[in-house]
Copies of this chain bind each other. A is one copy, B any other.
Amino acid sequence: MESVKQILKGDRLALARLLTKVENEEPSGFEALSALYPHTGGAHRIGITGAPGTGKSSLVNRLALHLRSSGWSEQAKAKSLKIAIVAVDPSSPFTGGAFLGDRIRMRDIFGDPGIFIRSMATRGALGGLARATADMVDVLDAAGFEAIFIETVGAGQAEVDVARMAHTVVVVGAPGLGDDVQAIKAGILEIADILVVNKADLPGAENTLRSLRLVLELASPPDRQPPSEIEETKGEEAAAANWSPPVLPTVATSGDGVAERIQSIHDHYQHLQQSGGLAARERARVRSEMEGLLRESLMEGFLEQQSEGSFESAVESVLNKKKAPRQAVRELVEGKQK
């Protein structure tokens, strides 16, 4: 395919076009992705999540700019990295509205051909957004981007999806949000490989850092394996568990701590490579993605085979209290196999 060759050569227009096709679930987009897939595997996928108001987007900008200008470490400075940012806003499941005004702040890095930015907002189901994001990250990986930031608003399931997609998960907090310890309730610490307290120049930052560290010490060792109904081995993941998530300050507006956080992200990746945890995360990610795709595919196939209105009739029978939902669904599935 022509577009595949162009993308492998670094053609940004061809890349942008393919991303749109993949986002819109066009079959030709999926064909190109299949052709590109063997070229994936070179990117460090970095998830960045956190509550609104923590300055996540500014921090991602700073991290990307620093990585672009200085590389992963002093030794690597000679080589200029290609960096992509995928900003996902799953926050509005009902109206499908996008709140990506934050992107305006990205203007510092527009115009740099080594940084590619793409925003996505919810269209329809949450699962659909996660699948589209996974596909787009695969395309960017194949296109030679060596660091891919996947940024999302911290909101329950979205964080989990990011954790599944990324090699390194950075959770961003800030002082004064009143939810530093409460955040534990939302399970956010359990997905963090690195915790960043941004806006660390604000009053209360020391308290936030201290209480997060205390809570992490008290917490049981994390188990990052996503729940799966298909059995799997957990051995490799366990080997990677001896990473203690650091809790570290940054000030995205001034750039304080940004170089050090790039180093932390790199340290985590090297730890994953050396411990075998990288392979385990790749496996968990692929399994989870394929389970989601399989579910969708089976549902679509089933509905296509049904006679017109059979699902509707089943819904009616439940609304009329003739059948319980589970009973109606079982009869629908069994009826198909007659």
In A297-316, the 8 Å CB interface with B consists of: 297-303, 311, 314-315
Query: Interface segment, A112-120, A184-192, A251-259?
Result: A184-192
Is A186 in contact with B52, judged by CB distance below 8 angstroms?
A: yes
Least Cβ distance of A147 to chain B in Å? 20
When the two chains form their complex, are residues B91 and A321 in contact, meaning their CB atoms are under 8 A apart?
Answer: no
Q: Report chain B residues within 8 Å CB of A99.
A: 185
Distance in Å from the Cβ of A329 to the closest Cβ of chain B? 4
Q: Is A235 an interface residue (CB 8 A)?
A: no
Per CB-CB distance, the 10 closest pairs between chain A and chain B, nearest first, are A156-B156, A155-B156, A157-B157, A37-B324, A52-B182, A298-B298, A293-B329, A94-B190, A34-B324, A92-B187
Contact digits for A170-197, partner B, Cβ 8 Å, 1 yes 0 no: 0000001111001101110011000000
A246 is an interface residue with CB less than 8 A from chain B: no
User: Which of the residues B37, B156, B321 comes within 8 Å of A157, measured between beta carbons?
Assistant: B156
Interface centre among A90, A187, A286 (most CB of B within 10 A): A187
Q: Which chain B positions have C-beta within 8 A of A303?
A: 229-230
Q: Does A51 contact B (CB under 8 A)?
A: yes
> How many identical subunits does the complex contain?
2
Bound complex: CA of A227 vs CA of B126, how far in Å? 9
16 sample A-B contacts, Cβ–Cβ < 8 Å, listed by A number: A36-B324, A38-B322, A40-B321, A52-B182, A53-B178, A93-B187, A94-B160, A94-B225, A95-B223, A177-B178, A179-B179, A282-B319, A283-B315, A290-B314, A290-B318, A294-B311
Docked pose: A229 CA to B311 CA in angstroms: 12
A28-58 interface mask toward B, CB cutoff 8 Å, 1 = contact, 0 = none?
0010011011101100000000011100000
